Structure 1
Amino acid sequence: MTAAQSLIIIFVLIAASAFFSLAEISLAASRRIRLRQLAADGDARAPRVTQMQEQPGDYFTVVQIAQNAISIMGGIVGESAFSPYITSVLSLWLSESSAQTVGFLVSFLTVTSLFIVFSDIVPKRMGMTDPELQAMRVYRLMQFFTTVLKPLVWLYSKISDGIFRMLGMNTVRDDRITSDDILAMAEASTQAGGLAQSEQRVIANLFDLDNRLVTSTMTSRDRIAFFLQNDTDALIRARIAEEPYSTYPVCDRDIDHVIGYVDAKDLFQRALNNQAISLKDEGLIHKVLVIPDRLTLTETLDQFRQAQEDFAVVVNEYSLVVGVVTLNDAMSTVMGGLIGPDDEELIVQRDANSWLIDGITPIEDVVYALSIEEFPHFEDYDTLAGFLMVMLRRIPKRTDSVNWGGFKFEVMDVDSYRIDQVLVTRLNAQGQSPETTPDNKRLTSD
């Protein structure tokens, strides 16, 4: 075989090896979702590639048979193509035995380098760049090789299946996409600039609905504006003016005996028509949805859907009212803490190292705002106030503080055993708060 013939054979082998490398990586890297989109757009090749992905055993067996055969042939042809000529040149300076040894090594490294670069690295990078397109380009030729090599494919597949059974391993690819997979893809897309951080946060919040209880987003008992059924017209009008909400619970005797709710628009309509407002009028009061405080936000949304309501009263195991929740409360959690123009922001960042946080702030929002991995005894409380109570093992009072996760949580204001404000300060490496400046004095309350 002449040198020219050997070179032609080597280049043909490199091209063949490159084809099979491209076929292997493109099928493995193809995304099922993307293939479905291409199929929906009318590309007839996409369903065939998807079918190959579902049963990839024969496909990859063909790739391995071809790659190993090409490697063996490349070694044989490569050694005879370059070694004699390199040896003859080196023999001008080296002894015959040394020239043969060095010639063989140079020939081996040359052929190996050509295969590594042109039949492995380059085609695999091509396959990773646009795997779905490359997989659709090569699938017809791969089907042909699968048919031609079917006897060998069958033999090797049976041997492989037997080994898998002996090891107790699954031979079917698991293509289920979990919530963790979606979150990881969203985070990767955000880092790559393909998804806005706010959009990525909404996706994360959607999957967080199953982990957050309704108590983390409800209006707590002490902040509920409600009516008693025997309230007078003047008292109702005054309450509406003082605490304007869209919905008010109506109770008998006290807040723990809820008999329904009244819609503010019905009250406004009567007020505008100069009609007397009486909550004993059954036409004003609607049946209220009552839900337990152990429901997750996902279950709460399901309750709203089934009852076709957007307002619910939350009760504990003793049938005592602990709060109220609206559909907007649950959806604002998805949107990342959406607040209305008249609502007070629960977390206010004062500077790079300190935050003023309301005690009723859901602990999940605190975790996100401070980028803390996890709080201790996470399942025992829902709010920042609950965290402080669990850590202190008592009702906190002003100036009480807890250090956790590189932050200092200091109680700034307590109103009737309720923690109103907490100052959170980032600690330095020595566990101390950064020094305050005249423009950044510690907050105190009267």
Structure 2
Amino acid sequence: MSLLDNMLIILLLIGTSCFFSMSEIALAAARKIRLRQLADEGDPRAERVLQLQAHPGSFFTVVQIGLNAVAIMGGIVGESAFTPYIRAGLESWVADPWLSQLSFVLSFIIVTSLFILIADLMPKRAAMAMPERVALVLVGPMTFCIRLLTPLVWVFNGLANAIFRLLQIPTARNDQVTSDDIYAVMDAGAEAGVLDKDEQQMIENVFEMQTVPVTAAMTARESLVYFLLQDDEEVIKRKIAEDPHTKFLVCDGQLDTIKGVVDAKELLIRVINGQSITLKDSTLVHNCLIIPDSLSLSESMEYFKNHRADFAVVMNEYALVVGIVTTNDLQSAVMGAWSLHESEEQIIARDKDSWLVDGVTPITDVMRAFGIEAFPQSQNYETIAGFMMFMLRKIPKRTDFVNFGGYKFEVVDIDAYKVDQLLVTRIPAEATPPLVAAVEQ
């Protein structure tokens, strides 16, 4: 054959190799979520790509048969196509026995370079850049090749499956989406500028609702403002004026004896109409939703939806009130910084290496703010004050501190026995000690 004939054959082989190379990368890199979206929009090619991804054995068998066959044929044709011409060009410069060897080596380098550049590197990079589009274009020809080579596919695929079973290696593709996968996608979206930081944080909060307890979002017991059945009208008006809220608990003698809840708007209407206010009036006090403190934020929201309520009392296993929670509290837990006024922020930066942290700040918020993966035995506490108490093994006092995760957590303000505020400072990397808990002697 002439040089032109050989070149045409080599170009055909390179084109065939391009097809198999692009098919291999496109199928492996095509995102299942995007393909499922295209399939739902009515593109039958996307459904065929998904089927190949679910059962890739036949596909990869055909790809390897094609690539190896083309590589062998390319070597044979390339050697016979280029070697005579290279030999003729070097005869005046190199004598035998080196002439034949050098001609073969140069012919091998030319053919290999063509296949690496044009048949392998370039198509794979193109397929990696737009995998779904390439997969949709090539799925038809690849399906035809699989049917055409069915006998060979059956033999090689059967042998490969037998070896995998012998070695106990799974052959099915695991497409299960985990929470870590979703977080990774959100991180990638934030880095690409598709999501801003607050949007990313809000989405992460939504996924964390199933693991964060309702106690992390409630108003704690010691901060509750409530009415007693025995309160007269002046006491009720004073409490509303000092701590205005939409609803108030009504108790009999003590907080844990709950009689119901009263709406401040109804009290206001009575005041406007010149009527007296007494909590012993059954028309004022309404039934109150009570939920256990073991619920998560997600379960609490489900409770509110099922009972068409927006206010609930949180009780522990001893039937003691530990706090109250509203739909606004749950919304704030999801919206994060978007729903907080500056005065409500629980973590305030003093400078780039120190922060003031409210003692009742949920431990999940502290983890997020300081990039700490996990706190030790975090199932035993819910707030940063609880972490201090757990680590110190006592009721904290001022100047008590714990070094953990590259930060120093120091108690700076105590209200009775309650940790009111902590100072968190970053420990220099070169001076980072192991986990340390220090107490005042």
Q: Which interval holds the TM-score relative to the shorter structure?
A: over 0.9
Aligned to 2:355: 355
Return the letter of the residue paired with 2:165.
Answer: R
1:214 CA displacement: 1.4
The residue correspondences of 1:337-416 to structure 2 (distance < 5 A) are: 337-341=337-341, 344-416=344-416
Aligned to 2:270: 270
Return the letter of the residue paired with 2:333.
Answer: T
Return the letter of the residue paired with 2:169.
Answer: M
Aligned to 1:436: none
Q: 1:430 and 1:9, CA in 2 relative to 1: closer, same or farther beyond 3 A?
A: closer
Identity over the aligned pairs, expressed in percent?
50
Q: SS state of the match for residue 58, structure 1?
A: helix
Contact 1:209–1:296 under 8 Å retained in 2 = yes
The residue correspondences of 1:44-443 to structure 2 (distance < 5 A) are: 44-341=44-341, 344-431=344-431
Q: 1:280 and 1:416, CA in 2 relative to 1: closer, same or farther beyond 3 A?
A: same
Return the letter of the residue paired with 1:321.
Answer: V
Could you tell me how far apart the structure 2 residues matched to 1:140 and 1:218 are?
A: 57
Contact 1:62–1:149 under 8 Å retained in 2 = yes
Aligned to 1:26: 26
1:106 CA displacement: 1.9
Aligned to 1:438: none
Contact 1:88–1:99 under 8 Å retained in 2 = no
Could you tell me how far apart the structure 1 residues matched to 2:61 and 2:165 are?
A: 17
Return the letter of the residue paired with 2:269.
Answer: Q
Contact 2:198–2:338 under 8 Å retained in 1 = no
Could you tell me how far apart the structure 2 residues matched to 1:349 and 1:386 are?
A: 21
Return the letter of the residue paired with 2:121.
Answer: I
Aligned to 2:438: none
Asked if 1:9 corresponds to 2:3, the answer is no
Could you tell me how far apart the structure 2 residues matched to 1:235 and 1:342 are?
A: 31
1:48 CA displacement: 2.6
Return the letter of the residue paired with 2:194.
Answer: G
Deviation string 1:239-282 (CA, Å, 9 cap, x unpaired) is 11111112211111111111221222222222232222222222
1:341 CA displacement: 4.2
Q: 1:338 and 1:228, CA in 2 relative to 1: closer, same or farther beyond 3 A?
A: farther
1:87 CA displacement: 2.8
Deviation string 1:63-109 (CA, Å, 9 cap, x unpaired) is 11111111110111111122222233333333312222222222212
Q: SS state of the match for residue 146, structure 1?
A: helix
Return the letter of the residue paired with 2:24.
Answer: E
Could you tell me how far apart the structure 1 residues matched to 2:277 and 2:248 are?
A: 14
Q: 1:430 and 1:111, CA in 2 relative to 1: closer, same or farther beyond 3 A?
A: closer
Contact 1:228–1:253 under 8 Å retained in 2 = yes
1:25 CA displacement: 1.3
Q: SS state of the match for residue 186, structure 2?
A: helix
Farther-moved stretch of structure 1 (43-52 vs 412-421)? 43-52
Structure 1 alignment gaps of length 5 or more: 434-446
Deviation string 1:20-55 (CA, Å, 9 cap, x unpaired) is 111121122112221222233343432232233233
Could you tell me how far apart the structure 2 residues matched to 1:39 and 1:379 are?
A: 43
1:206 CA displacement: 1.5
Contact 2:332–2:340 under 8 Å retained in 1 = no
Could you tell me how far apart the structure 2 residues matched to 1:91 and 1:190 are?
A: 63
Contact 2:87–2:99 under 8 Å retained in 1 = yes
Could you tell me how far apart the structure 2 residues matched to 1:167 and 1:424 are?
A: 52
Farther-moved stretch of structure 1 (13-22 vs 280-289)? 280-289
Return the letter of the residue paired with 2:229.
Answer: Q
Deviation string 1:353-374 (CA, Å, 9 cap, x unpaired) is 1111111111111111122233
Could you tell me how far apart the structure 1 residues matched to 2:190 and 2:341 are?
A: 29
Q: 1:61 and 1:342, CA in 2 relative to 1: closer, same or farther beyond 3 A?
A: closer
Return the letter of the residue paired with 2:378.
Answer: F
| Superposition TM-score, scaled by structure 1 size | 0.92
Aligned to 1:38: 38
Structure 1 segments (4+ residues) deviating >6 Å: none
Contact 1:413–1:422 under 8 Å retained in 2 = yes
Could you tell me how far apart the structure 1 residues matched to 2:176 and 2:271 are?
A: 57
Q: SS state of the match for residue 186, structure 1?
A: helix
Could you tell me how far apart the structure 2 residues matched to 1:378 and 1:188 are?
A: 28
1:165 CA displacement: 2.3
Return the letter of the residue paired with 1:212.
Answer: V
Return the letter of the residue paired with 2:190.
Answer: T
1:340 CA displacement: 4.5
Aligned to 2:436: none
Contact 2:62–2:145 under 8 Å retained in 1 = yes
Contact 1:348–1:357 under 8 Å retained in 2 = yes
Q: 1:271 and 1:101, CA in 2 relative to 1: closer, same or farther beyond 3 A?
A: farther
Structure 2 alignment gaps of length 5 or more: 434-441
Could you tell me how far apart the structure 1 residues matched to 2:101 and 2:113 are?
A: 18
1:415 CA displacement: 0.8
1:170 CA displacement: 3.1
RMSD across aligned C-alpha pairs, in angstroms?
Answer: 2.0
Farther-moved stretch of structure 1 (183-192 vs 12-21)? 183-192
Corresponding pairs, count: 433
Could you tell me how far apart the structure 1 residues matched to 2:231 and 2:338 are?
A: 33
Q: 1:140 and 1:429, CA in 2 relative to 1: closer, same or farther beyond 3 A?
A: closer
Could you tell me how far apart the structure 2 residues matched to 1:51 and 1:432 are?
A: 52
